[in-house]
Amino acid sequence: MDPDLTHDRLIEQWLEEYAASQHEKRAAANAIQDAIAARLDDDGLNYHAIEYRVKDHQSLEQKLRRCNPDGNLKYADGLRGIDDIIGIRVITFLQLDVERAMTALRNSFDVIAHVDKTAEQREKGEFGYSGQHLVLRVSEATAPNGCRNHIGERFEVQFRTILQHAWAEFEHDIRYKSAGPVPPEVNRAFTLASGLIELADNQFSTISSVVAAEKANPGEAVTLLPVALTGEALESILEQALPSNPRSRVEQYEWLRELLEMHGVTTVAQASELVASADWDAISRKVQYKFAPGHVRAADDLLLVHYGQEHIDKTHALGHDRNRRAKLTYRLRKLRD
């Protein structure tokens, strides 16, 4: 039988199978995106955006038709051999935030594979696409809330800084929408831009470290901030108290202000006194963080230590996490052990 004809029949069968599962795949992708956002928010991590997509029919068919040098299909197992039918992008501001986000997700899903695209470029002595890719699976043992109906679902997560993301999106747009071969000068320009982006990412990391060290200087008086407590004031207080911990998303500091308000903490002086009373090392030992938590997560755990069950009762409904009460209850048990 003609191999091409056999391939066509297999691919047609796989595409029919995929069409029947489209609704399920989109539901899984949405649940996984929500679970990833919830996990990063729980850890108080800063990120720019979390995006997802489900492969369309045309893109999947192109991938299924790829062949090895011997003429056999590269994905002989069909859909079971493709890990990026569901694709997630986590876009951060700093390279260090990429590493923290990867650590967080390793503890929420099974890791099937890890590809370091940045390291691959360095080993070749080249500049180009940079980023980290994890192939993950929703497992029975660690399935996050909202993902229990999608046990076994595989997906790929691409982690990029916002600069890496801009380069990748523009490069993809130019190459795939070009009517013909891309001119050599365009390839050279992309290579130069990639090198500059790597340099800029490194400088942003340096700037962040220097600023954090400056804000940790005891000579900086938080009392100069407005008397009324604001999210901005909380960010300054926590940067001084926890200079080595990552900053949280801007909107999370305002959410923390609402948590504090529920306990009658409404001024900079009150918040500063509460933060100064913390035994951060003891909290870290009891919770057993996998990495340094973001400011807001650390402060939320401090409130659990300080107010106990009252904190759960007063704040479990604040925010968008429907599972906050259960999570707080679990963390309180660890803090009291």
pLDDT, mean over the chain: 89
Q: What is the pLDDT along the chain (337 residues), one digit of tens a residue?
A: 345 558 888 999 999 999 999 999 999 999 999 999 999 999 999 999 999 999 999 999 999 999 988 888 888 888 898 999 999 999 999 999 999 999 999 999 999 999 998 777 776 666 677 889 999 999 999 999 899 999 999 999 999 999 999 998 888 888 776 667 778 888 888 888 888 988 999 899 888 888 777 776 655 554 444 489 999 999 999 999 999 899 999 999 999 999 999 999 999 999 999 999 999 999 999 999 989 999 999 999 999 999 999 999 999 999 888 889 999 999 999 999 8
Please name each of the domains of the chain with its CATH number: 3-195 (3.30.460.10), 216-336 (no CATH)
Say how far apart CA 13 and CA 294 lie, in whole Å.
Answer: 47
Say how far apart CA 67 and CA 61 lie, in whole Å.
Answer: 12
Q: What is the pLDDT of residue 4?
A: 58
- Residue pair 70/104 in contact (Cβ under 8 Å)? The answer is no
Say how far apart CA 253 and CA 299 lie, in whole Å.
Answer: 10
Q: What is the pLDDT of residue 1?
A: 39
pLDDT in tens, 102-152: 999 999 999 999 999 877 777 666 667 788 999 999 999 999 989 999 999
Q: What is the pLDDT of residue 5?
A: 54
The DSSP result for 90-157, as a single string, is EEESSHHHHHHHHHHHHTTSEEEEEEEHHHHHHHHT------EEEEEE--TTTPPTT-GGGTT-EEEE
Q: What is the pLDDT of residue 2?
A: 47
